[in-house]
Amino acid sequence: MPDITIGPFKRAQGSIVLPGSKSISNRALLLAALASGTTILKNLLDADDTQIMRNALRQLGLSVTDQANHICTVEGCGGQFPVREADLLMGNAGTAIRPLTAALAMQGGNYRLSGVPRMHERPIRDLVDGLRQVGAKIDYELQDGYPPIKISAADIQIKDVVKVRGDVSSQFLTALLMALPLVASEPVRIEVLGELISRPYIDITLKLMARFGINVTCPDSQSFVIPAKTVGAVYKSPGQLSVEGDASSASYFLALGAIGGGPVRVLGVGSDSIQGDVAFADALALMGANITAGEDWIEVAGVKNASGRLNGITIDCTEIPDAAMTLAVAALFAEGPTRLNNIASWRVKETDRIAAMASELRKVGATVEEGADYIVVNAPAQGDWKSPSDGIDTYDDHRMAMCFSLAAFGPHALKINEPHCVAKTFPTYFAEFAKVVS
């Protein structure tokens, strides 16, 4: 997809059927692969990150069959991958490389995992340290603490509490939770050191593990106990599993409903969602948006203020790190400053999202303050909006491209560079966006 110029727009209204959740899709694919029996996954996200996971599973000897209408059939391996040696290219898919690393470390085989250059800058040390505690043999190929990594056959023995840091990425804990049941001859206790960020993503992991027959208990907020392995396969297929719509992707359209008057309705997530990013709707409500919701839909119809503008807010974004990016761009349409706190995890995502967000917001005229774990955005006055001739850079980061589509509701047309990066999670984003804006 070449660079695109969009806007200026004044109105947004309509409805959007959301693609499947990336977080749920990649967890469900791996659990289905490790389970006994056949699992039919419905509404599976068809995007770069889930294709990376599917292709890796096929390399490992699994039958993973894509069918029409976002249905995928996975023949489980009962916990033991058929292929004992593989070199896996994981792109920039954190939700694929991290849990797969942990599962492969339990296999007794020899594997190499690498990715694109940015993946080799994204930390994996805390996960590797956790796996080494149970005897896994994992070596860094280039730089300590980062992929590429090599996993060698090892004797896995869990003799003590497994400890893992929780303040860099919740994906490290997710990976351990999903993999350690494969070798849990006795109950296994995992303890989180320090703050556990993005707790709602751990809740997704626990709920999906329960669907596949493993019920993890939580004696306190920092501890997780995996039950002892029973005879036979650990995970058991639920037969069918339907993937919710992606709540992070919903955030762009919900924000459109506030900025562009609405009503805009997203279909596929609602009050019954297991995804933490549905709390984005609560944040938007704090900014003054009119929100209504049902079990599997959320709708936004403008704002309550007579001015028609959102209110700036200060908010702790620990539990909505991805959707919080949308708040940063929505702040362009707010009265007063918007401060997003506890977003340190942005620094180790597809790009350094705090630096990238600050840079691009300034291009359109916003005043921005950035810190190690926060960002403060002040909207430009109406006459101070800018239309950068060099366009908005997206840093090969799908969320940067989707977030900044909202800025086309300013007074100027906006060029977005390299918009094809949305293929990571939402390949049809700009086509869907075009359907609801005018």
Q: Give the active site residues.
A: 322
Q: Burial of 347 by CB count in 10 Å (0-12 exposed, 13-18 middle, 19+ buried)? A: middle
Is residue 293 helix, strand or coil?
strand
Strands (E), 25-68: 38-42, 63-67
Query: Do residues 298 and 250 lie in contact, with contact meaning Cβ atoms separated by under 8 Å?
Result: yes
Query: Do residues 350 and 394 lie in contact, with contact meaning Cβ atoms separated by under 8 Å?
Result: no
Strands 38-42 and 240-242 turn out to be: parallel
Q: Output the CA–CA distances (angstroms, integers) from residue 314 to 323, 337, 357, 375, 378, in the order listed.
A: 15, 8, 17, 10, 12
**Spatial separation of the C-alpha atoms in residues 427 and 429, rounded to whole Å:** 6
Q: Burial of 301 by CB count in 10 Å (0-12 exposed, 13-18 middle, 19+ buried)? A: middle
Find all residues with CB under 8 Å of 236, minimum gap 6, and list them: 35, 36, 37, 212, 213
Q: Which two tokens stand for residue 123?
A: 């930390």
* Beta carbons within 10 angstroms of residue 82's beta carbon: 9
